[in-house]
Amino acid sequence: MPLQTAPLPLASVLQQRRDRLAELHPQPVLLWSGQAVARNFPANVYPFRANSHFLYFAGLPLAKAAIHLEGGRLTLFMDDTSPEAALWHGPTPSRDAIAAEIGAAAAYPYAQVDHYRAESATLPFQAKSDSDRSQALIEALVALRLHHDDEALAQIKRAAAVSVAAHRAGMAATPKAATEAEVRAAMEQVIVAEGMTCAYNSIVTVHGEVLHNEQYHHALAAGDLLLADIGAEAPSGWASDITRTWPVSGRFTAPQRDIYDVVLAAHDACIAAAQPGVEYRDLHLLACRTLAAGLVDLGLLKGHPDSLVEQDVHALFFPHGVGHLLGLDVHDMEDLGDVAGYAPGRSRSDRFGLKFLRLDRPLAVNMVVTIEPGFYQVPGILGPARQSGRYNNTVNWERLQDFQQVRGIRIEDDVQITATGCTVLTAALPTQAAAVEALVSGG
């Protein structure tokens, strides 16, 4: 039914996004929100998160809804809440009220979306669609979502500020915590209390060498480093992504501090170099060379940093890319494969030191990326590497013994590219070793 109500402020931001989509992709588009998945009975569901492409244009985390977009005009398809659902979940705004809030031109029951399927482009993982049509839509979505508008940036900053507070709380809680789980609880408490959720499963571990460790049962011991990778997600869906690594005791040991400062040098070098036109791949290689140079200075690697990086020796200790796109998702738009991450005509390298690079594009104003170099001693990488004898001329395996207590360090910030360089959106959380120690000890 056509709507008469005046659109609210959210609607004007959404309208701009839809108008831009119409310029890039004049053909009609259908996007679905998705719906909650039941665990064991219909009313006991896994936490629901609306699809990000839907959220970008619809603005609200609606469940079991679809939008049709054409010429900047949005048609909403969703059902009004039934009296039975209202009994369990409370009253919710009507379809027409939601439609007015997001500036929909019309709103119909969910089942009516079926009439628009045949004519519309959609995403291949949402519904059947002609693959040429899907490809054109994917390219338009990437072109739009790569560069954030003011509202998106404001939302990412809100999420980032809460993540900063969560990390401060985690550092402060560490001296009295017995396990990783207690520090995680202190951190997520801040996010939950702000009415936010986590943008991804939290990593809070003394085994930082497990890159996406999702166990929290280990006891904290005085000599351990604790790696915490936790990011808040605003109710609007915009994400943040921060990692800090701190000593459980409040003081880095000398070997820990040595490696920490090498990782920090790589982090700082990338942030100093980030500006429009710079290739993200070159930032990654800068991080690799900075790490390699630092490890040579510590006597851990042997050779010239450039040559070590060409041979991928650094990747034994830094086996991932220096970061990724950030937006409505952490690893933004990776549901589209590498279309967002890799500029047209580029594809992943099969080199050990480059194949995990998630982003290979020139930086541009209002892209938001993470910068997250690290150092890890992964037994599954270093054991076979040592056994093979292949690295005997480039790795000082005996010297590595002195750094056994450094299992994993990562330092991760969220960076907005600006006309003159970049702004670190998470800069309120210190990275310098002494400042991190002070935040832990101050707790």
**Least Å distance between CB 372 and ligand GLY?**
6
CB of 11 to ligand GLY, least distance (A): 32
Site size toward ligand GLY, by CB under 6 A: 6
DSSP per-residue letters across 314-347 = GGGT--S-S--BBSSSBTTTGGGTTTTTB-TT--
By CB under 6 A, tell whether 326 contacts ligand GLY: no
Nearer to Mn ion, 204 or 300 (CB): 204
Rounded Cα–Cα distance for residues 20 and 144 (Å): 7
173 interacts with ligand GLY by CB under 6 A: no
* Of residues 155 and 370, the one with the C-beta less far from Mn ion: 370
Query: Cα–chain-centroid distance for residue 271?
Result: 17
Give me the residues that bind Mn ion (CB under 5 A), please: 229, 241, 243, 370, 412
Q: Give the Cα separation of 198 and 64 in Å (integer).
A: 22
Closest residue by beta carbon to ligand GLY: 229
Question: Among residues 233, 329, 372, 413, which is the contact residue for ligand GLY, using CB under 6 A?
Answer: 372
Half-sphere exposure of 139 (CA within 13 A, CB side): 11
Which of 330, 409 has the CB closer to ligand GLY? Answer: 330
Q: Does residue 229 bind ligand GLY (CB under 6 A)?
A: yes
Judged by CB, which is closer to ligand GLY: 200, or 352? 200
* Residue number, 224 or 372, with CB nearest to ligand GLY: 372
**Torsion on CA atoms 322, 147, 335, 106, rounded to nearest 10:** 160
Hey, how many other C-beta atoms are within 10 angstroms of the C-beta on 260?
Answer: 23
CB 274 within 8 A of CB 417: yes
**Min CB(42)–ligand GLY separation in Å:** 32
Given a contact cutoff of 8 angstroms between Cβ atoms, the answer to whether 47 and 196 are in contact is: no
Site string for ligand GLY, 327-346 (x = CB under 6 A): ---x----------------
387: which 2 tokens?
Answer: 């056994």
Say which entry of ligand GLY, Mn ion, none residue 188 contacts (CB below 5 to 8 A, set by partner kind): none
Q: Please, which residue, 74 or 369, has the CB nearer to ligand GLY? A: 369
Question: Which residue, 233 or 372, has its beta carbon nearer to ligand GLY?
Answer: 372
**Choosing among Mn ion, ligand GLY, none, which partner's interface includes residue 216 (Cβ < 5 to 8 Å by kind)?**
none
Separation of alpha carbons 346 and 376, rounded Å: 28
User: Which entry of ligand GLY, Mn ion, none binds 110, CB below 5 to 8 A by partner kind?
Assistant: none
Residue 200, binding choice from Mn ion, ligand GLY, none, Cβ under 5 to 8 Å by partner class: ligand GLY
The least CB distance from residue 165 to Mn ion, in Å, is 17
* Partner that binds at residue 290, options ligand GLY, Mn ion, none, CB closer than 5 to 8 Å by kind: none
Return d(Cα 390, Cα 395) in angstroms, integer: 9
Q: Which is nearer to ligand GLY, 316 or 330 (CB)?
A: 330
- Identified binder of ligand GLY from the candidate list 209, 241, 413, 437, rule CB under 6 A: 241
249 binds, among ligand GLY, Mn ion, none (CB under 5 to 8 A by kind): none
Q: Residue 231 contacts by C-beta under 8 Å, 6 or more apart in sequence?
A: 159, 163, 198, 199, 200, 239, 240, 241, 242, 330
Nearer to Mn ion, 67 or 191 (CB): 191
Q: Which amino acid is at 161?
A: A
User: What are the strands of the beta sheet with 65-70, ordered from one edge?
Assistant: 29-32, 65-70, 73-78, 106-108
Told to check if 263 binds ligand GLY by CB under 6 A, we report: no
Q: Is residue 200 a contact residue for ligand GLY (CB under 6 A)?
A: yes
State the Cα–Cα distance between residues 340 and 342, nearest whole angstrom.
6
* Least distance between Mn ion and beta carbon 365 (Å): 21
Q: Which is nearer to ligand GLY, 21 or 287 (CB)?
A: 287
SS3 192: helix
Helices marked H in 302-419: 305-310, 379-388, 397-400
233 in contact with ligand GLY (CB under 6 A): no
DSSP 137-183: HHHHHHHHHTS--HHHHHHHHHHHHHHHHHHHHHHHHGGG-SBHHHH
Query: Contact letters (x/-) for ligand GLY, 27-46, by CB under 6 A?
Result: --------------------
The count of C-alpha atoms lying within 13 angstroms of the C-alpha of 397, restricted to the half-sphere facing its C-beta, is: 12
Cα–Cα distance, 163 to 197 (Å, whole number): 10
CA angle at 8 for the pair 6 and 9, rounded to the nearest 5°: 140
Please give the residue ranges that form the binding site for ligand GLY (CB under 6 A): 200, 229, 241, 330, 372, 412
